[in-house]
Amino acid sequence: MDVDLFAGEGAPMLPFEFPVAENDIRIRRIRSPRYVDYEAGNAILNRLAWLFNHPKAVRPPCSLIYGDTNNGKTALAYKFVRDFSPREDSPEYGKRPVVYVHAPPFADLNGFYDAILRTLKAPYRSTARAQAKWDQILQLLAAIGTRVLILDEVNNLLIGKVDQRSMVLNSLKSLSNELRIPVVAMGTQDAVRVFQTDQQLGNRFEPIGIPRWALSKDYAVFIARYVQRLELKQESNFRSKELVGRIHGMSEGLTGETCKLLALAAEMAVHTGREIIDMGTLDQVPWVMPSERRRAAR
């Protein structure tokens, strides 16, 4: 039957649908974010849950979570937000018990307030006075039942004027005091320097580091669990010290880099039909080690 693809209303329906290739569906799943249990990550999640369940206090406990770039901090924050957000069938649906905010790209009080208001999808004027934004933020966070505020990339506060940095940090402390809720700051090792510039902040925000992986049995188990979620049709041999060592070397022991490398390798395994992650698959993955990327960016 001939079908006029450009016919108007009332034209016959197409006698077929364009199929989506099975591999395309699988690759979309491979690229989707996922969390696999590991000791250091679970320790951070347990700490965040402890803060969430802490009763309101005049000086709420706070945390500074730090680690190398792409070592899993943001992924842990997103998982925590998902786990502690009300479901659609919950009477609390619509509340925001955990609010996650990216710090502005440099120390700037108005930029900090704007970042929170954007996260809350609140109408605001960027030209409004800082005090007006502050009052709006306090009202909104109280109204939506926020119990933990997370500020990521706080190492950005090292960029910019010292007086602006002090104002942002004091504002962060005041948010915790006014609302009587814990605040969690996240960043690189430089974030520790940011908070040590003020003795009160250094004492208030307990630092917790996320180490890189050592080349160990635990790392091999983590890799095996992660790849199992990628649904390849052949079982990869992560009992091989050579293979695990190669993955550790390419990722430099960083959690985020390990996950990204394994996902790229799984994609390659699907595209080639090999359906396994081994030395040959890793040879085909386009990859630049994290330290080499940083050197190239200088």
- Per-position DSSP letters for 52-96, written without gaps between them: HTSPP-SS--EEEEEESTTSSHHHHHHHHHHHTSPPTTSTTBTB-
What's the distance, Cα to Cα, between the start and end of the chain in Å?
62
The one-character DSSP state at 285 is S
- Per-residue pLDDT band for 20 (boundaries 50, 70, 90) equals low
* Residue 201 pLDDT: 84
- Per-residue pLDDT band for 102 (boundaries 50, 70, 90) equals very high
The one-character DSSP state at 14 is P
Cα–Cα distance list, 240 to 212, 217, 228, 243, 277 (Å): 21, 11, 16, 5, 12
**For residues 195-205, average pLDDT:** 84
1 Cβ contact list (under 8 Å, min separation 6) = 12, 15
Cβ–Cβ under 8 Å, residues 153 and 103: yes
Burial class for 72, CB neighbours closer than 10 Å (0-12, 13-18, 19+):
buried
- Per-residue pLDDT band for 283 (boundaries 50, 70, 90) equals very high
Cβ–Cβ under 8 Å, residues 269 and 275: yes
Scanning the chain, the segments in alpha helix (DSSP H) are 22-31, 39-52, 73-83, 109-119, 130-143, 162-179, 189-196, 199-204, 217-228, 241-251, 255-272, 279-284, 290-297
Q: What distance in Å separates the CA atoms of residue 285 and residue 104, rounded to the nearest whole number?
A: 34
- Per-residue pLDDT band for 152 (boundaries 50, 70, 90) equals very high
* Residue 6 pLDDT: 37
**Angle in degrees, CA 52, 58, 61, rounded to 5:** 40
What is the per-residue pLDDT across 50-81, written as a single tens digit (0 to 9) for each?
999 999 999 999 999 999 999 999 999 999 99
- Per-residue pLDDT band for 14 (boundaries 50, 70, 90) equals very low
* Residue 195 pLDDT: 87
- Per-residue pLDDT band for 202 (boundaries 50, 70, 90) equals confident
